[in-house]
Amino acid sequence: MSISLDEAVDLTRTGDVWVFRGRSVPDRAIQLTTNSPVNHVGMAVVLDDLPPLMWHAELGRSLPDMWTGAHQRGVQLHDLRDAVCVWANRYGQRAWLRQLEPPAGPEHEQAVLRTIARLDGTPFPSTAQLAWRWARGRVPRLRLPHPGRPEVSRAPVPDRALETAYCAEVVAVTYEAMGLLPPGRRPNWYDPGRFWSGDDLDLTGGARLGEEIEVRIPPR
C-alpha cells in the first residue's frame, strides 16, 4: 500500500512512527549493523492547530527547530512535511508511516511535550560514539557480588540523563514517557530497526504499531 505525502500528513497523529531507508554508505552500514531495512526513525507530533511535526535527531540543521526557532544539530522538532521532503530529496531516503493504535490521548500528548522540553537540542553522537552506544545496549551489564565471580545482573540499570542522543533513542525515550514502552530498558538498546514491522516491539497497554504504509514523496 502506498499513499501520497499529502495523504500521509493528513493521516498522521501524535505517536505515529515514520521510518526511512537510504542507499548511502552510512545508511547501508546502519541497516547491516541492525539487520533491518531502515536507518532512521522519527515520531509525529500533532497538536491542536499546529501543523504536523516530526520529533527526531539528526546531524543536519537544514530546517528550523519548531521548539526554539533556531537551526541546530541533534534532537529537533521540525515541520513534518518539510522534514520528510528533506530526507527524501536531500538524503535520498524512502519513507514509510506506521500508525499507533489506539491513537494517543491528551495524557500522552502532555508526556510528549515534557519530553520535548527536556531533550530538544541534545547533541547527536559522533560516529564512534554512535557505534559504541549501540554495542553497549546489547551487552548485559555485569555485577560482582562475590570477588572473582562475574554474574549478569537481572535487574534493569537505568542510564543517566542522555548527554547525546540518536534518532531511535529519542523515539524510545518519548514512548517510555508516554507509557507505551516498559521502563528500565536502556535507551541505547533501541535502534531504527526496532521500529519496523519485522521486529517485535513490545508495547504496553494493548498499544501496537500498524504495518508500514509507503509514502510517495513529490520530486523537489
Q: What is the DSSP string of 35-73?
A: TSS--EEEEEE--TTSPPEEEEEES---SB-TTTSSB-S
What's the number of CA atoms in the CB half-sphere (13 Å) around residue 31?
15
Dist. CA 210–CA 220, nearest whole Å = 29
Locus of grid cell 499513499? 3
Share of the chain above pLDDT 90, in %: 62
Confidence class for position 125, pLDDT limits 50, 70, 90: confident
Cβ pair 102, 8 in contact under 8 A: no
Dist. CA 32–CA 187, nearest whole Å = 20
Confidence class for position 188, pLDDT limits 50, 70, 90: confident
Read off the C-alpha cell for 117.
522540553
Cβ atoms within 10 Å of 117's Cβ, excluding its own = 9
Q: What is the pLDDT of residue 161?
A: 61
79-85: average pLDDT: 97
The answer to whether residue 156 scores a pLDDT higher than 80 is no
Mutual angle of helices 25-34 and 127-136, in 10-degree steps: 10
Q: What is the pLDDT of residue 126?
A: 56
Q: What is the pLDDT of residue 217?
A: 95
Residue 13 pairs in a beta bridge with none
85-89: average pLDDT: 94
Dist. CA 181–CA 54, nearest whole Å = 20
Q: What is the pLDDT of residue 150?
A: 42
29-44: average pLDDT: 77
Q: What is the pLDDT of residue 158?
A: 38
Locus of grid cell 539528526? 58
Question: What is the rounded average pLDDT for all residues in the chain?
Answer: 84
Q: What is the pLDDT of residue 199?
A: 82
Cβ pair 79, 109 in contact under 8 A: no
Which domains, ranges and CATH numbers included, belong to the chain?
2-136+158-216 (3.90.1720.10)
